[in-house]
Chains A and B, each alone.
Chain A
């Protein structure tokens, strides 16, 4: 059974770079069958898609992040990483990694448990 687990610093200062890692077990990230995505969720809001990466290295990102996000794959460690530059307090949220279906509705399943990130001076 596929399992995803996020890790990284829970507290950052404004203008710093956020770096999160998603450890994937029970399956390989090096597969043409799925995308690997990052999402975040603010309190009381629906999840917000940040972006995805494909095994080929191609990626797509939400335009709302204005180029601040980058997602990468480490197939040797079976990990998916998120980097987000120049964070502000508005980036404080719970961040999730998830496997994303390529076709149809592009649903997300499974999800990691999430990691809370707080940006504060």
Chain B
């Protein structure tokens, strides 16, 4: 399984919405998770099984998709959303999307 994330980098302004993509090389049904990682920190689970938010995660983080195409949408962007975002399915991680909020 290969997970391909796009774009590699995304630069947006506060208040805008971000759409991050993750494409799987084979059908993985709804079994995909998303993580946020800030410099010097461990990845933090955001979304599991496509659309389930981790406890305490704001509703402006939304996961969607099925099969081979998945998206993480972050609305009303805040400066603290600047991070690298990874998708994951079991032992496979994507290469990440770096989100910059300026």
Contact = CB atoms under 8 A, between A and B. Distances in A.
Contacts of B32: 105
Interface stretch (B12-20, B74-82, B87-95): B87-95
B88 A108 contact: yes
Interface residues of B, number: 25
**Chain A interface residue number, banded:** 20 to 34
A33 B36 CA distance: 24
Contacts, number: 61
Interface string B41-58: 111110011100010000
Contact of A106 (B41, B86, B90, B95): B90
A104 B48 contact: yes
B42 A96 contact: yes
Q: Is the contact region of chain A dominated by helix, strand, or loop, or is it mixed?
A: loop
Contacts of A49: 90-93
Contacts of B72: none
Contact of A109 (B30, B31, B54): B54
Contact of A105 (B31, B54, B95, B96): B31
Q: Is the contact region of chain B dominated by helix, strand, or loop, or is it mixed?
A: loop
Given A62-B91, A105-B31, A114 B42 contact: yes
Contact of B49 (A45, A47, A96, A105): A105
Contacts of B28: 105
Given A45-B95, A101-B48, A108 B89 contact: no
Contacts of A48: 93
Contact of B43 (A105, A106, A108): A108
Contacts of B33: 105-108
Interface of A: 45-49, 62, 96, 98, 101, 104-114
Interface of B: 28, 30-33, 35, 41-45, 48-50, 54, 86, 88-96
